[in-house]
Amino acid sequence: MSVRFDSWGRVSRKPRAAADVADFRGTAPGSFLPFGNGRSYGDSCHNDQGRLLPMRPGAAISAFDPDTGLLTADAGVLLSEILATVMPYGYFLEVTPGTAQVTLGGAIANDVHGKNHHRRGTFGRSVVMFSLLGSDGVRKSCSPQSNAQLFNATIGGMGLTGIIEQATIRLMRVPSANVRQTAFRFSGIDGYFDAIDAIDASHEYSVAWIDQLARGGKLGRGVLMAGDHAEDGGPARPPSAPRLSVPFSPPLNLLNRLTLTAFNEMYYRRAPAQPLTGIVPWSSYFHPLDAITGWNRLYGPRGLFQHQSVYPSQNARETTVALIECAQRHGASSFLTVLKRFGDVPSPGLMSFPRPGFTLTLDFANSGERTLKMLDALDEIVMAAGGALNPYKDQRMSAAMFEASFPHWRQMEAMRDPAVLSDFWRRTAMVLEPAQRGANRPSAAE
Ligand SMILES: Cc1cc2nc3c(=O)[nH]c(=O)nc-3n(C[C@H](O)[C@H](O)[C@H](O)COP(=O)(O)OP(=O)(O)OC[C@H]3O[C@@H](n4cnc5c(N)ncnc54)[C@H](O)[C@@H]3O)c2cc1C
């Protein structure tokens, strides 16, 4: 079976081979990798020398108890499907990433974060238990109490420990899914860093959009959006069907310097100069881009790279400025530039990306060698600051950058299912130590 399983960055697009779970747990040769909904940006959800195991088909929610807020579902269920089920009962996900078009298994395997990391940490903390299927056909029930090591390695383990079949998660009660948002613009990066301690101390959620193209005294200007579930938020409606759609990829990148300069100016000016509080629908606060189907196609046929880093708080202001200036020096424009704080709530995942500090996300159209050079220069700044790069947004980081980001990666390698591999793991961990355990079943040749 050969189907298209592009990842969100669309840098590498081609038909990819898929397999059945029966192949994985049987004696079929080669390597395998679970595939959720392809919302990872790069190659951590690809396995081009082996086969993918699609998790979406037939996935369903099997139980939800409105008394306890516990939900059990197949790993291929989307977070949007979970929200649609639990919101009428006054529940919400404890942690929701910037899109709800993510599977439960993908959210666990990447231990995703939301706008409330400073309060609640990562998605993995909501996970009560899951069943994990290994290539030896053995199914293990994993929780903090049972098979705890495997539980920790699978959360944030990027699919490498086997197939998460079903999981039970804890949801949180909210007065309304809708959000009481306080938004204001800041005229330079100091405006963000001067405000954020007080903002995070008093709000469940916070996120800032940054105008990556602003220079001089305006460098790092942006809009801060803090929020809390509203006491008087009214009924939470399901998101309306996407009103806009990008059905095909235009022949060139539409998100270029010219269009972005105009967009950024307009977006910045439209935001209130003084904090303004009001109720906003939950879907536009948490998942604004889900309203435009296929927005990633706007980057043109060569796709986009996302660069998400995290760096310590002590030098966060300087590091943020250095990253923005570096992109500017290289003549690169980032459509979506987002700055958030990661708190110190520990994550259960062995390989989880979040750690205390600040995280900056930049999206760049792929202009080939020029973009790759700039991304390497950004990496150097992150490394010098003692930071790390997000593996599930990445398509190109060097093995050295990977090791600097995850110095304990060998513990993960020791927990990897011998029949599971990803392209990301091949070009990072396997390059650092090519003589690692087998890349697939012993009899197989890739
Ligand atoms: C617009 C947008 C906004 C985003 N915002 C955020 C954000 O705010 N925070 C954040 O953390 N991330 C964010 N992301 C990234 C996204 O949340 C993660 O990449 C997510 O894990 C993707 O899930 P998926 O179901 O699409 O899985 P895929 O991308 O298909 O796979 C992700 C990983 O999970 C593994 N996997 C999938 N299913 C299983 C399974 N059943 N068993 C074992 N392993 C499995 C795969 O092997 C792969 O390694 C965003 C992405 C987009 C496109």
Say if ligand 1 is within 6 A of residue 122 CB: no
Whole-angstrom CA distances from 24 to 1, 56, 171, 395, 416 are 14, 16, 32, 25, 14
Say if ligand 1 is within 6 A of residue 51 CB: no
The answer, yes or no, to whether residue 438 has pLDDT greater than 80, is: no
The C-alpha atoms of residue 1 and residue 207 are separated, in whole angstroms, by 42
CATH number for 179-237+247-403: choose from 3.30.70.2740, 3.30.70.2520, 3.40.50.1480, 3.40.50.720: 3.30.70.2520
User: How much is the pLDDT for 101?
Assistant: 96
Over residues 346-357, mean pLDDT: 97
Say if ligand 1 is within 6 A of residue 113 CB: yes
The pLDDT tens digits of the residues spanning 372-405 come to 999 999 999 999 999 999 999 999 999 999 999 9
Q: Among 122-131, 266-275, 348-357, 432-441, where is mean pLDDT lowest?
A: 432-441
Q: What are phi and psi of 54, to 5 degrees?
A: -65, 130
User: How much is the pLDDT for 247?
Assistant: 64
User: How much is the pLDDT for 442?
Assistant: 44
Say if ligand 1 is within 6 A of residue 295 CB: no
Q: Measured from the CA of 159, which atom of ligand 1 is nearest?
A: 44
* CA–centroid distance, residue 433 to ligand 1 (Å): 26
pLDDT tier for residue 445 given thresholds of 50, 70 and 90 = very low
User: How much is the pLDDT for 80?
Assistant: 96
Q: Among 69-83, 171-185, 252-266, where is mean pLDDT lowest?
A: 252-266
The pLDDT tens digits of the residues spanning 6-40 come to 999 999 999 999 999 999 998 889 999 999 999 99
Kindly list the domain boundaries of the chain, sorted by start residue: 2-55+405-432, 61-173, 179-237+247-403
The answer, yes or no, to whether residue 441 has pLDDT greater than 90, is: no
Q: What are phi and psi of 408, to 5 degrees?
A: -95, 20
Q: Among 104-108, 155-159, 294-298, 437-441, where is mean pLDDT lowest?
A: 437-441
* CA–centroid distance, residue 160 to ligand 1 (Å): 14
* CA–centroid distance, residue 390 to ligand 1 (Å): 12
Burial class (CB in 10 A: 0-12, 13-18, 19+), 308: buried
User: How much is the pLDDT for 446?
Assistant: 46
Q: Measured from the CA of 102, which atom of ligand 1 is nearest?
A: 25
Mutate to test the pocket of ligand 1, among 16, 32, 41, 45 (most ligand atoms within 8 A of CB): 45
Q: What are phi and psi of 286, to 5 degrees?
A: -90, -35
* CA–centroid distance, residue 10 to ligand 1 (Å): 15
Beta strands 139-142 and 127-133 are antiparallel
* CA–centroid distance, residue 106 to ligand 1 (Å): 4
Encode 40-57: b = buried (16+ Cβ within 10 Å), e = exposed.
Answer: bbbbbbbbbebbbbbbbe
The answer, yes or no, to whether residue 196 has pLDDT greater than 90, is: yes
Q: Which residues, at least 6 apart from 244, have a Cβ–Cβ distance to it below 8 Å?
A: 291, 292, 293
The answer, yes or no, to whether residue 439 has pLDDT greater than 60, is: no
Q: What is the pTM of this model?
A: 0.96
CATH of domain 61-173: 3.30.465.10
Average pLDDT, the chain: 93
Say if ligand 1 is within 6 A of residue 54 CB: no
The answer, yes or no, to whether residue 244 has pLDDT greater than 80, is: no
Q: Among 52-56, 97-101, 431-435, where is mean pLDDT lowest?
A: 431-435
Over residues 308-324, mean pLDDT: 98
Say if ligand 1 is within 6 A of residue 354 CB: no
**Measuring from atom 23 of ligand 1, which residue has the nearest CA?**
106
Q: Measured from the CA of 164, which atom of ligand 1 is nearest?
A: 42
Over residues 262-279, mean pLDDT: 94
